[in-house]
Amino acid sequence: MFDHATPGQAHLAGDAAHTLPRELQAISEYEFEAAQFVDVTTPTLLTGSESPSLYRGATEAVHETLPHSRFVTFEREQHMAMHDTPDRFIDEVVTFVQNQTN
């Protein structure tokens, strides 16, 4: 899971380890119902890439459901693109926001 982890990520993961059982239970019990989200018209930026398939699948399902979403992938990134490639992440967010105001 942490084969690409930076020292900062490993530290964050260690701090969050106690939350994993609760989070995994919530994930296993949650059922995504696309119909609940079809009326969401707010422009939404979704990011992902080499996250675990569970997260990527969920992101793709949300993207397919939201009519005004954009899904940006970060190659060779897992779950922390905002920390690992902050310049690219910021560029994507700024571009997304600018496109909404034009």
| Alpha helices, H only, the chain | 7-16, 20-29, 53-65, 81-84, 86-101
Q: Is residue 27 part of a domain?
A: yes
> At 24, is the secondary structure helix, strand, or coil?
helix
Q: Is residue 57 part of a domain?
A: yes
Give pTM, 2 decimals: 0.68
- The predicted-structure confidence for 28-69, as pLDDT tens digits, reads as follows 888 888 889 889 999 999 987 777 777 778 888 899 999 999
Q: Do residues 55 and 30 touch, judged by C-beta distance below 8 A? A: no
Expressed as residue numbers, the domain containing 94 is 7-34+43-101
Q: Is residue 1 part of a domain?
A: no
Task: Count structural domains, the chain.
Answer: 1
Spatial separation of the C-alpha atoms in residues 71 and 94, rounded to whole Å:
14
